[in-house]
Amino acid sequence: MPTFTGEQATHYDSRITRLVPGYELLHQLTNAQLLATLADNAHILVVGAGTGKEILALAALNPTWQFTAQDTSSDMLAIAKQAFEEHGIAKRVNVIEGELDKLSTKADAAVCLLVMHFLKDDGSKKQLLKNIKANLNKGANLFISDLMKPETDFEREAQITVCADLGLSDAGQAYTAQNLESEFYPLDRMRLSELLNECKYGIPKLYFKALGFSGYVVK
Ligand SMILES: C[S@@+](CC[C@H](N)C(=O)[O-])C[C@H]1O[C@@H](n2cnc3c(N)ncnc32)[C@H](O)[C@@H]1O
């Protein structure tokens, strides 16, 4: 997994849109569904909140939503915290650094975008999904997006082509092609459904697909 420290954190916001085809659309579609489903007093758990982009956008969508921003990288969260202050929303966000544990407030929805694919399927993914479930109110949706196992033998190559179109340098393309093989632990749809089922979630509904990246909503 990338370390998400130092330059990987400071350059994150400018790099990620070149690495994930449809990054902004994924967030837009996720946020629109949260807006469609949540009340004004909702509490949203953002797992792997990173530099805080999701929360900034969601806080602007509804001025009374409250958030928990959890992440294991203090460098990513330092950027997030500064952004929350700058946008005057710090009081609405409970920031948690470290692995997700039991929170004092249960959430009305959870968002976990581009995080679980970095965890091995050795019990680590399952633990994360269980921890999220334990912090959700009954009937709450989880929006989760990850790099999946390729469904064709040309999908990854096409993904790098799109990254080039999005402005990724030649060196970045070579590095990314290698990283997709070595730094991610992608699942196929069947295994994802199985894991979700083992963690007491229902049937995941696909709402986003851009080559290797899929987004599902599940409760
Ligand atoms: C690719 S970034 C995604 C950030 C943000 N969700 C987004 O969509 O831009 C992955 C984030 O997951 C965090 N992360 C990795 N393992 C984690 C874990 N077990 N629990 C929570 N966050 C984790 C990393 O520190 C990093 O900030």
pLDDT digits (tens, 9 = 90+) for 14-37: 899 999 999 999 999 999 999 999
pLDDT given for residue 102 in this prediction: 87
70 has pLDDT over 80: yes
72 lines ligand 1 (CB under 6 A): yes
Residue 129 Cα to ligand 1 midpoint, Å, equals 14
pLDDT digits (tens, 9 = 90+) for 198-208: 999 999 999 99
* Residue to mutate (ligand 1; options 15, 72, 75, 124; most atoms within 8 A of CB): 72
Residue 46 Cα to ligand 1 midpoint, Å, equals 10
What is the rounded distance in angstroms from the CA atom of residue 133 to the CA atom of residue 135?
5
Q: How confident is the model at residue 3 (pLDDT cuts 50, 70, 90)?
A: confident
User: Mean pLDDT in the chain?
Assistant: 96
- How many residues make up the chain in this entry? 219
CA-wise closest residue to 96 among 48, 135, 62, 41:
48
66 has pLDDT over 80: yes
3.90.780.10, 3.40.50.720, 3.40.50.150, 2.60.40.790: which CATH number matches 6-218?
A: 3.40.50.150
**CA dihedral in degrees (95, 126, 159, 152; nearest 10)?**
-170
Q: Starting from the edge strand earliest in sequence, which strands make up the sheet with 66-71, in order?
A: 93-97, 66-71, 43-47, 107-113, 136-147, 213-218, 205-210
E strands in the chain = 43-47, 66-71, 93-97, 107-113, 136-147, 205-210, 213-218
Residue 78 Cα to ligand 1 midpoint, Å, equals 13
48 lines ligand 1 (CB under 6 A): yes
Residue 51 Cα to ligand 1 midpoint, Å, equals 9
* Residue to mutate (ligand 1; options 11, 71, 117, 214; most atoms within 8 A of CB): 71
Q: How confident is the model at residue 2 (pLDDT cuts 50, 70, 90)?
A: confident
Contact between 185 and 192 (Cβ < 8 Å) = no
| DSSP structural state of residue 91 | G
Cα 210 from chain centroid? 15
Mean local confidence (pLDDT), 129-137? 97
Element holding 78 (H helix, E strand): helix 74-86
pLDDT given for residue 185 in this prediction: 97
**CA dihedral in degrees (70, 72, 78, 80; nearest 10)?**
-40
113 has pLDDT over 80: yes
pLDDT given for residue 141 in this prediction: 98
6 has pLDDT over 90: no
1 has pLDDT over 80: no
Report the 10 Å Cβ neighbour count for 30. 23
| DSSP structural state of residue 202 | -
pLDDT digits (tens, 9 = 90+) for 170-203: 999 999 999 999 999 999 999 999 999 999 999 9
pLDDT given for residue 5 in this prediction: 85
115 lines ligand 1 (CB under 6 A): yes
Which atom of ligand 1 is least distant from the CA of 77? 27
Residue 153 Cα to ligand 1 midpoint, Å, equals 27
146 has pLDDT over 80: yes
CA-wise closest residue to 84 among 92, 76, 75, 96:
92
113 lines ligand 1 (CB under 6 A): yes
What is the rounded distance in angstroms from the CA atom of residue 208 to the CA atom of residue 219?
17
50 lines ligand 1 (CB under 6 A): yes
